């Protein structure tokens, strides 16, 4: 027996005269007049005297503590459960123990405890859950325990995230102290005691709003000082504009561009001019323009109809001080094409083809990035490993490909101090995290990701996050830990609301931070990143 539980139990036994109970009043246990020690039993022993005050169950074969497990010992003041094999404590496991003051569940294999497990313990003062396998505690575990004065959580692998925020908020209001509970994650709270945590640092994503039709993409941009969101909605055949409604405190539709079979709506603001590239299937891509705030968006020009047959992605780049769109084409007959504003005699409001990259590789995604201060482009394709291009003499030239990175669907990057880190999405196999070492991208981490088509890094309130979407399971939110330089789990965003996510976009507005999740099989979901209690 360990800790305070053993000490209290031994005190109850000390000085107790040996007692031979009447027949049938003590199962195969060591008994004194008011207490019993049961070791190695197959289940919860019964047949005790109704006046039994203390019971210790050690190394039993009990697999689960279920409802009313101790109903036959209603007078217990102390219950010690140690070195047993049960992993789950269910609803009302201690129902009927209205006089119980000391409950010690120590050194077992407990990984799950119901929020109703302690219901009815109105006299409980000391609770120990030490040395189990608990990663979190359900939100209303201590509900109704008005006499509780001490909780011991030492020796548990506590994950101190928003699921445990309720405990930090409860501590100042409750009468109990929580002793020796230590976090094993996530960073930066590894090996931090619960008492040292600041509740204001617990910010997570929680659902805020659902928006209409399925979408393939979500883009945010600022136009004349106001934040806008642009959704790509192929089934509705439009690029939908959204704006924050300060009265209703939610995002509201604010016009649209008709665009049948659209796969990417990409905004670009140049001074007072607003461009929107609507990349559409089968040669219908076009550029829309609002020349000034007083005018409406209107079609401006078709975009490379002879080159773009099956667009899959569009990006904005700045090259030699010129604004450019790069449209990624996934067909064998089409070509990924760079379109830039004109110069000299071609200067004007239009965008013109500057370069076509290789054909026949069915390109799926492009990611612009800077390496050593020079523009580079990473192009993912269905038929080859991702290729890194660099900008030289007014054109992109092939630099290298990424070793060991087959079947990459998309790439996104972020900076962690001086390092540039890639998030590579793979539908089959593990998605990858890679870091640029000055000459090549090297593998840092592999993350299981069957059914993933988006792996999006986001920087929120000084924290570097990354979200790995999934069509078949929960999408996972990670936080980047500079030491040891990997992504560590933070939170899950689950179905059915998040149905086949295709893009994640951070939208800061009105001093708040929202995450748009464009979903292919359901409405776009909006989450807010804020101080949030996610305890269940």
The structure's pTM equals 0.76
Alpha-carbon gap, residue 532 to 506, rounded angstroms = 18
| Residue 158, preceding peptide bond in cis (omega within 30° of 0) | no
Torsion region of 369: left, alpha or beta (phi above 0 gives left; psi -120 to 50 gives alpha): beta
10 pLDDT above the threshold of 50:
no
**pLDDT given for residue 294 in this prediction:** 84
DSSP 355-412: EEEEESS-EEEEEEEEETTEEEEEEEESSS--EEEEEETTEEEEEEE-TT-TT--EEE
Token digits for 252? 């509201």
Phi, psi of 4, rounded to the nearest 5 degrees: -65, -35
**pLDDT given for residue 115 in this prediction:** 93
Contact between 239 and 276 (Cβ < 8 Å):
yes
pLDDT digits (tens, 9 = 90+) for 202-239: 778 888 999 989 999 999 999 999 999 999 999 999 99
Helix, strand and coil content of the chain, in percent to the nearest 5, comes to 5, 50, 45
**pLDDT given for residue 350 in this prediction:** 85
Biggest CA pair distance of the chain: 110
Architecture, CATH, for domain 214-457: 6 Propeller (2.120)
Helix (H) or strand (E) holding 3: helix 3-13
Alpha-carbon gap, residue 378 to 388, rounded angstroms = 5
Contact between 31 and 19 (Cβ < 8 Å):
yes
- 452 pLDDT tier (thresholds 50, 70, 90): very high
Sign of CA dihedral 300, 304, 308, 309: positive
| Residue 188, preceding peptide bond in cis (omega within 30° of 0) | yes
How many residues make up the chain in this entry?
536
**pLDDT given for residue 17 in this prediction:** 39
23 pLDDT above the threshold of 50:
no
DSSP 204-226: EEEEEEEESS--SEEEEEEETTE
Picking from 67, 90, 97, 185, the residue whose alpha carbon sits closest to that of residue 136 is: 185
**pLDDT given for residue 59 in this prediction:** 93
Strand-strand pairing, 35-39 and 54-58: parallel
Mean pLDDT of the chain: 88
- 123 pLDDT tier (thresholds 50, 70, 90): very high
Locus of tokens 């709003």: 209
Alpha-carbon gap, residue 367 to 468, rounded angstroms = 17
CATH class of 27-202: alpha beta
359 pLDDT above the threshold of 90:
no
Indicate the DSSP class of residue 16. Answer: P
Residues in contact with 298: Cβ distance below 8 Å, sequence separation at least 6, in sequence order: 288, 289, 290
Share of the chain above pLDDT 90, in %: 64
Residue spans of the domains in the chain: they are 27-202, 214-457
Lowest mean pLDDT among 2-11, 352-361, 467-476: 2-11
Query: Mean pLDDT over residues 419-447, rounded?
Result: 94
């Amino acid at each position: 027996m360990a800790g305070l539980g053993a000490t209290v139990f031994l005190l109850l036994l000390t000085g107790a005269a040996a007692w031979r109970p009447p027949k049938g009043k003590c199962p195969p246990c060591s008994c004194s007049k008011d207490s019993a020690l049961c070791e190695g039993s197959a289940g919860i022993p019964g047949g005790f005297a109704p006046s039994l005050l203390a019971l210790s169950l050690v190394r039993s074969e009990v697999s689960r503590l279920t409802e009313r497990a101790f109903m036959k010992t209603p007078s217990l003041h102390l219950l010690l459960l140690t070195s047993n094999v049960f992993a789950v404590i269910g609803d009302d496991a201690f129902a009927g123990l209205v006089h119980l003051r000391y409950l010690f569940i120590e050194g077992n294999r407990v990984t799950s405890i119901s929020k109703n497990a302690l219901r009815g313990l109105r006299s409980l003062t000391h609770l120990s859950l030490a040395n189990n396998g608990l990663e979190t505690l359900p939100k209303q575990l201590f509900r109704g325990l008005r006499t509780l004065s001490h909780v011991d959580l030492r020796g548990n692998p506590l994950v101190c995230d928003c699921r445990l925020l309720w405990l930090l908020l409860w501590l100042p209001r409750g009468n109990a102290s929580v002793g020796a509970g230590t976090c094993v994650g996530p960073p930066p709270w590894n090996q931090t005691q619960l008492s040292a945590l600041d509740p204001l640092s617990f910010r997570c994503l929680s659902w805020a709003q659902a928006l209409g039709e399925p979408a393939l993409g979500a883009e945010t941009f600022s136009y004349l000082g106001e934040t806008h969101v642009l959704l790509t909605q192929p089934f509705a055949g439009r690029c939908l504009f959204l704006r924050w409604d300060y009265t209703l405190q939610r995002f509201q539709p604010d016009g649209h561009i008709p665009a049948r079979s659209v796969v990417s709506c990409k905004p670009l603001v140049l001074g007072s001019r607003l461009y929107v590239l609507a990349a559409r299937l089968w040669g219908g891509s076009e550029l829309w323009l609002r020349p000034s705030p007083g005018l409406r968006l209107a079609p401006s020009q078709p975009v490379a109809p002879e080159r773009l047959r099956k667009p899959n992605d569009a990006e904005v780049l700045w090259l030699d001080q010129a604004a450019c769109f790069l449209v990624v084409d996934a067909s064998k007959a089409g070509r990924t094409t760079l379109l830039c504003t004109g110069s000299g005699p071609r200067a004007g409001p239009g965008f013109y083809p500057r370069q076509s990259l290789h054909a026949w590789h069915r390109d799926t995604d492009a990611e612009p990035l800077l390496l050593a201060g020079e523009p580079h482009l990473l192009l993912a394709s269905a038929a080859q490993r991702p290729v890194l291009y660099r900008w030289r003499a007014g054109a992109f030239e092939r630099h290298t490909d990424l070793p060991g990175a087959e079947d990459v669907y998309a790439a996104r990057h972020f900076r962690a101090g001086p390092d540039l880190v890639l998030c590579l999405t793979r539908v089959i196999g593990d998605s990858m995290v890679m870091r640029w070492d000055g000459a090549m991208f090297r593998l840092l981490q592999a993350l299981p990701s069957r059914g993933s088509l988006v792996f999006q890094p986001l920087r929120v309130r000084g924290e570097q996050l990354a979200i790995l979407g999934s069509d078949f399971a929960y999408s996972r939110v990670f936080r980047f830990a500079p030491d040891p330089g990997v992504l560590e789990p933070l939170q899950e965003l689950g179905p059915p609301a998040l149905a086949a996510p295709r893009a994640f976009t951070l939208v800061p507005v009105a001093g708040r931070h929202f995450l748009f999740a464009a979903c292919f099989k359901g409405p776009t979901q909006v989450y807010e990143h804020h101080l949030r209690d996610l305890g269940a």
